Structure 1
């Protein structure tokens, strides 16, 4: 069965909304004519970013890469915060590209630094999902529905909130259990193998960036397990890191799939395609 696609003018607006959102959370929602949502995403993402930087003494920048041109710093690359691109660049300028560690202090002296890492990292992840939400609102505006149905952006956000939830809301029960069970199971197994101490930016910064993609399930777990420390090198520690990071990447795949399925259902219902709309709502 061939998937439906938005009309060309709508597709271009959706693409612009994604691009604007990735530059600055909320900007893409202005493209969709939704000022309230634009304000919400701007406050949420920038609040998390700058609040997290404050709690961690800007030590997030120690995990980034500073790009120079002609001896001058021009760009800060920092994952996953880079989802909030202009916010990160502005914050780096304000901090003069330095952190408490660069100033001769240890990040361990900041008791809330791990919460700060989670907040700033969440800002980048949420900014990317805000782009999906803004894109979806462009579709909703151009092809409205009378009946209540989950939007593509809503399905993607629901997947981030709880893996599998986006498919549940669009009526796909098998994929709910397939994606949800696989992702949560991988994460739980990985955390167990790592003695619940593997979700740590300072120890595993590259794995941590992937783990952050899991969403609130991972963020809350990491916050609650923050006091945990390795008493020694664990025999299956590397496997645990692999599983938890894979869970994060699978969450992105599940979110993309839920977005696509919900978009197809929405277009089928809006255009009255026989059989397709009813199947999506089942």
Structure 2
């Protein structure tokens, strides 16, 4: 049986090879070990974590102030241990403002078995939500240098469309600089429409991750592939879908006096099988 280091290298190489312009492979976001096992059973090629989904599960807000590097990495380690698939983590803003904070986060992430992760340019400060251009690039460069010898796929995120009135052209400029700084994958959540997605994919020379499942326009996998996306993730939207189902079930009982929600519930035996065998398939 291969040793753990060999297995991790194989997962890292397999994960990197998935990133092909226009291939638009699907990478769902798990929020704990159990959700990771369910997603792994459905034939996805890789799994990402979600800081939002994790935060909701432990009764916190999804914010840099509320989530520490230690708890995010502990949760990611549990997800890594729950599946044989490559796992890429939402590493927030690198858990510190300095470039060396981002580098240390990458080193620790690789150390727990993650084969990829994202660093964003959001500050967590509502009054000044995005790092200035040069600072943002320096942070990505430090993370990329740390990742270089670790077989770690670094995703650099430009968060301006979530927090400011940034133009698509400004986002492209930032993503191009992140690519030049060594990022392997580029990501700008909240792009306004398919034309913007197409423009970003055409103007950068690295694979692009597109986020679906937010409010606003929703495009098919085929349309995103045609636009040039290499990877599609869902952020915290699967977790929010689970919360929606829980709320609907919880309201049905007192409001309607019925228990019809149970018809859509996953059978306990199937869940038990997944928890016993992470390689088990449910479809």
Task: Answer whether TM exceeds 0.5 for this pair.
Answer: no
Normalization by structure 2: what TM-score? 0.26
Specify the structure having the higher radius of gyration (Cα). 1
Which structure features the higher share of helix residues?
A: 1
Which structure features the higher share of strand residues?
A: 2
Normalization by structure 1: what TM-score? 0.26
